[in-house]
Chains A and B, each alone.
Chain A
Amino acid sequence: MNPYRVSEIPLQEVALDDIGDAPGPFCMSFGFDLEPLISSIKTVGLINPPILRSDPGQKIAVVAGYRRIKALKSLNAVSTPCRLIERHDDMPPLECLLLNLHDNLSTRRLNDVEKGMVLSRLSAFVPRQEIVTQYMPLLGLSPNEKGLLFFLEMETHFDVKIKTFVSEGRLSWRAVKMLSDIDAASRAGLLRVISELMLNINQQLQFIDYIVDLSFIEKNPIPWILSELDLDRNHLDKNTNRPQQAKAVLNRIKTRRNPSIVKAEKKFSRAVINLNLPDGILISAPPFFEGEHYRLEILFREGEDLKNRLQELLRIQGLD
C-alpha cells in the first residue's frame, strides 16, 4: 500500500485504552512540551486525526500522532477519531515509518534525539549505506557513517537525562563530534558531567578536550580520570550555584592539564592584587601571555578625573 492511500482509509473511532502507551516502533517524538497541544485540543478539538496500526495480539500502535494521543489521554478523553491501518491494508512497517517521518518533516524540525530515533528505527529496515547517503541529508545531517553510529548509540545507550540535554540543543555539535571519537563508556561519563553541571558550549568543548588529553597524558581511561576527579555535584561546594560549580570544576581540571599556564595566571593575578589598584583601574594580561602587551583600563568621568587617576597610577609602588 502506498502512503498516499492512507487518506483513503475511512475515519473511525478507537478507544484510547486500546492504544499502547509506549512510543512504539514508528515514534519520533522526544523532549516536547504537551501543553500547547492540550490547550489547542481543548479549544478547537482534534484537527488532524492520528494514524494508527493494529497488529493481531498487540495493542494498537501509533504511526503518526503520538503527541496527539498523549494529549488526548491526559485530557481523559475516551476515544479518538483516527485512520486505522489493518492487516489487509498491506502496509509494511518501513512505509509506516516513512509516513510518520514525512508527516513530521513537513510540519516541524526534529531535535537531535528525534533524529537518532528516526535513524535507529530506519536501521532495522534500510541498509546502512542508504541511511547515510539518503536519510542523513534528509534530516539535515552530514552524511557520514561515524555520525550515524553516534546517533544510533545515542538512541540506544543515552539515558533520558542526557537525551533531554541533547534534545534541548544544549550540547554543541562540536562537542558531539568530539564525543563521537571516543568509546561509549567514556562518552557516557563525559555527558553525565556536562548535563549535571549544565556546561555552556565553550565549557563543554574545553571540558571534553581537557579530559581526553588527561586520559592520553596519564595513560588512564576517561572513566577512571572522571572518578578520580570526583565531579559528582553532591561532592561540590553546596554554597555555590551551578555556574560557579561548573567554573570551579573546569579550573580544577585545567590546573591538572596545564599546570604552568595556571601557575602563571595565578602569579599574575597575585601581582595585580598586590598593586592595590584604585577602583576603576584594571590591568589585564595578553591572552595566554603570548603577546607582549598588557592592557590598562581606566574608568573616569571627565578630564579632571582622568588626570587624577593617572596621578594615582604614577604613585603606585611595584609597577616598575
Chain B
Amino acid sequence: MGWNLLMNGLHIRRVVLDKDASSYALTRQILAGLPGVPVHSSGLDPHLFDGEPGKETLHLQHYKGDFLKPCPGTREYICCGYQILNLAANCPLDCSYCILQSYFVNQPSLRVFVNLEEQLPDVLQVIDSQPGRIFRVGTGEFTDSLALDPMTHWSDMLLPQFSRRKNAILELKTKTTRISRVLASGYRDRIILSWSLNGPWISAKEEKGAASIEKRVEAARQCQSEGFILGFHFDPLVPYPGWRDDYARTVELLDRRIDPGRIIWISMGSFRFMPALKPIIRRRHPTSGVLNGEFIIGLDGKMRYFKPIRIELYHVIRHLLEAWHPDLGLYLCMESDEVWRSSMGWSPKTSSGLREYLDQRVVKFFNGTGQPA
C-alpha cells in the first residue's frame, strides 16, 4: 500500500532533515513511517523547494523558540487570550485564504518540530506554575491540529499530559477527519476537539485538501459520541451570493448530528489578512473568490470586511446558531466592542472580559473535576 493511502491523502515526497533533528525519537518514528521516501540533509539541495509551497516536503527541525506562546492578538480588537502550542509550521491542506502562505513564503515546506517531547516539560512547567490561571491551549494556529497526527502521533504525547491538568484544556482544531488516534486514546478530560466550519460552497471551493463540511460534522459526531467535548469555529466567514442559505445548511447539519449541550464554544471570525497575502492568493488560487468582498484596512493593519458587512455576517449566523441552542458559548474572534454589541447584543468589552467568559465555559464544562459538567 502506498504512503498516500496509508496517510489518508497526506502526500510526502521527500524529507529534509536538519542535522540537530536526527537524534530525536519523533524523527525516528516519522522516518520509520515513510519507507522509500528520500531523506535529504538540509541545505544540500537548493532545488528542493522549486515551485509552489513545498507541502510535499517534510522538514524535520529542532525548534529553538518557545513552544508555548500567547496568540498574537492586537490591542485594537478584543482577543480571546489563547495560548498556542507550536508543534509545526505550515499545513498539508491548501486553503486559498490561509494566512500561512504569507507567513512562510521563504520556508514553504511542511516543518515539524521534533524536539517537542524534550520541550514539553518546560511547557507544562509554565502551566503548573500558575495554578490559578486557566490555560486554553491550541495547536491549530500554524498548522492543522490533526492533519499530521497519523504521522506525528502528537495526540499520543499531548492528550495524557493535558488531560490530567486541572488548569488547562487542549483544543485540537482541524478541517480533517483524522481522528483515529484521538479516538483510540483513553483520554477525554480537558480535551476539546474542534472543527473549523464554513458554508459548504466556500468549503468546496476554497479549502483544498480539507474534508467536506458533512464529513467534518460526521467526524465531530463520532468524537462526541465517544465522549469528547466539541468546539466549532466559523472562521473565516466569507459573504458571497447565497451565503445566508449556505451557512444555514451547515447549521442544519450540526442540528441533525450534534448534541449542542456538549459544545463548549463556537467562534466566529470574518476573513482578514495582511495586505501581502493578496497577491499570493491571486497567484496561487486564481479562481478564488475570497478577495471579492469590500475590504478596508483595519485598526491592526489587516484587511477586513467593511464593518456593516461583518456585523451582518455575525448577526445572521448568531441567530441561526441561537435558534439551534441558546447556550453555545458563541464568541467573536478579533472584533471590536462596537461590532460585538451590534451583532451579538452584548460585549465582553475587553480582552480580559472575553478571557473570563471563555474560562468560565471551561469551568462549566470540566468543572475542575475533569468531567464534563
Interface string of B257-288 (1 = CB under 8 A from A): 00000000000000000000001001100000
Q: Which of B289, B294, B299 contacts A290 (CB 8 A)?
A: B299
Interchain CB contact under 8 A, B283 and A261 = no
Residue in A178, A181, A217, A290 whose CB lies within 8 Å of B298: A290
Closest residue of B by beta carbon distance from A288: B296
Other-chain contact of A292, B289, B296, B336 (Cβ < 8 Å): B336
Task: Looking at the assembled complex, report how far the CB atom of A14 sits from the nearest CB atom of chain B, in whole angstroms.
Answer: 50
B292/A261 in contact, CB under 8 A:
no
Number of A-B pairs whose CB atoms are under 8 Å? 43
Give bound CA distance, A59 to B298, whole Å.
62
Q: A260 CA to B336 CA in the complex, in Å?
A: 20
Q: Quick check: B294 and A258 within 8 Å, CB to CB?
A: yes
Indicate with 1 or 0, residue by residue over A254-281, a CB within 8 angstroms of chain B CB atoms.
Answer: 0001111100100000000000000000
Contact with A along B287-312 (1 / 0, CB 8 A): 00101101011110000001111000
B338 contacts chain A at the CB level, 8 A cutoff: yes
Cβ B307 vs Cβ A181 within 8 A: no
Complex-state Cα separation, A178 to B278, whole angstroms: 11
Q: Residues of B contacting A181 with CB < 8 Å?
A: 279, 282-283
A265 to chain B, nearest CB (A): 11
A287 close to B297 (CB less than 8 A): yes
A287-B297, A290-B307, A291-B299 are contacts. A216–B292 as well, Cβ < 8 Å?
yes
Kindly identify which residue among A212, A216, A261 contacts B294, using a CB–CB cutoff of 8 Å.
A261
A259 & B299 in contact (Cβ 8 Å cutoff): no
Q: Contact: A288 with B338, CB < 8 Å?
A: no
Which residues of chain A come closer than 8 Å to B308, judged between CB atoms?
260, 264
Q: Does A213 touch B at the CB level, under 8 Å?
A: yes
Question: B278 — nearest CB in chain A belongs to which residue?
Answer: A209
Chain A residues with Cβ below 8 Å from B338 are 292
**Residue among B279, B282, B294 making CB contact with A259, cutoff 8 Å:** B294
Closest residue of chain A to B296 (Cβ to Cβ) is: A288
Q: Answer yes or no: A173 CB below 8 A from chain B CBs.
A: no
Contacts of B299 in A (CB 8 A): 290-291
CB nearest to B275 among chain A residues: A209
CA distance A40 to B211 in the complex (A): 74
Q: A178-B279, A181-B282, A260-B308 are in contact. Are A288 and B291 (CB under 8 A)?
A: no
What separation, in Å, do the CA atoms of A292 and B336 have in the docked complex?
9
Residues of A within 8 A of B309 (CB): 260
Asked if B282 and A290 sit within 8 Å, CB to CB, the answer is no
Give the docked Cα–Cα distance between A258 and B297 (Å): 13
Tell me the bound Cα distance from A54 to B360 in angstroms.
Answer: 88
Binary CB contact string for chain A from 209 to 243 against chain B (1 if under 8 A, 0 otherwise): 00011001100000000000000000000000000
Q: Are A216 and B291 in contact (CB under 8 A)?
A: yes
Known: A181-B282, A261-B306, A292-B338. Contact between A217 and B292, CB under 8 A?
Answer: yes
Is B306 a contact partner of A264 (Cβ separation < 8 A)?
A: yes
Would you call A300 an interface residue if the criterion is a C-beta within 8 Å of the partner chain's C-beta atoms? no
A112 to chain B, nearest CB (A): 20
Bound-complex Cα distance A314 to B132 (A): 51
Q: In the complex the two chains form, is B294's CB within 8 Å of A289's CB?
A: no
Within 8 A of B (CB), among A288-320: 288-292
Q: With the chains together, A178 CA to B306 CA distance in Å?
A: 24
Of all chain A residues, the one with the shortest Cβ separation from B76 is A291
Chain B residues near A257: list those with CB within 8 A: 294
Q: CA–CA, A290 to B337, complex, Å?
A: 12
Given the known interface contacts A258-B294, A261-B294, A290-B299, the answer about A212 and B306 at a Cβ–Cβ threshold of 8 Å is: no
Closest chain B CB from A199 CB (angstroms): 19
Contact between A213 and B283, CB atoms less than 8 A apart: no
A212 to B283, CA, bound (A): 12
CB distance from B308 to the nearest CB of A (A): 6
Distance between A208 CB and nearest chain B CB, rounded to angstroms: 11
- Contact present for A288 and B292 (CB under 8 Å): no
Pairwise interchain contact B282-A212, C-beta atoms closer than 8 A:
yes
A260 CA to B289 CA, complexed, in Å: 18
Q: How far is the CA of A291 from the CA of B76 in the complex (A)?
A: 9
Please name the residue on chain A nearest to B304 by beta carbon: A290
Contacting pair A288 B279 (CB below 8 A):
no
- Taking the closest CB of chain B, its distance from the CB of A128, in whole angstroms, is 16
- In the bound assembly, the distance between CA atoms of A111 and B328 in angstroms comes to 62
B279 to A213, Cβ gap below 8 A? no
A11-30 CB contacts (< 8 Å) to partner B:
none
Set of chain A residues within 8 Å of B337, measured between Cβ atoms: 292
Residues of chain B with a CB closer than 8 A to A217's CB: 292
Alpha-carbon separation in the docked complex, A181 to B296 (Å):
22
**Judging by beta carbons under 8 Å apart, are B297 and A288 in contact?**
yes
Q: In the complex the two chains form, is B307's CB within 8 Å of A289's CB?
A: yes
Report which residue of A178, A257, A288 has the largest number of chain B beta carbons within 10 angstroms of its beta carbon: A288
Nearest-neighbour CB distance to chain A for B83, whole angstroms, equals: 28
**Please, which residues of chain B bring their CB within 8 A of the CB of A260?**
294, 306, 308-309
Q: How far is the CB of B306 from chain A (nearest CB, A)?
A: 5
- Residue numbers in A under 8 Å from B298 (CB-CB): 290
A289 to B337, CA, bound (A): 14
Specify which chain A residues have a CB less than 8 angstroms from the CB of B297 in the assembled complex: 287-288, 290
A contact residues around B294 at 8 Å (CB): 257-261
A257 to B292, CA, bound (A): 9
Say whether A288 contacts B306, CB under 8 Å: yes
Question: Could you list 16 examples of A-B contacts with CB < 8 Å?
Answer: A178-B279, A212-B282, A213-B291, A213-B292, A216-B292, A217-B292, A258-B306, A260-B306, A264-B306, A264-B308, A287-B296, A287-B297, A288-B307, A289-B306, A290-B299, A292-B338
Besides the known contacts A261-B296, A288-B296, A290-B307, 9 further A-B residue pairs in the complex with CB atoms under 8 A apart: A181-B279, A212-B282, A216-B291, A257-B294, A258-B294, A259-B294, A264-B306, A287-B296, A288-B306
Shortest Cβ-Cβ A-B pairs, 4 listed = A288-B296, A258-B294, A217-B292, A261-B306
Binding site for A on B (CB under 8 A): 279, 282-283, 289, 291-292, 294, 296-299, 306-309, 336-338
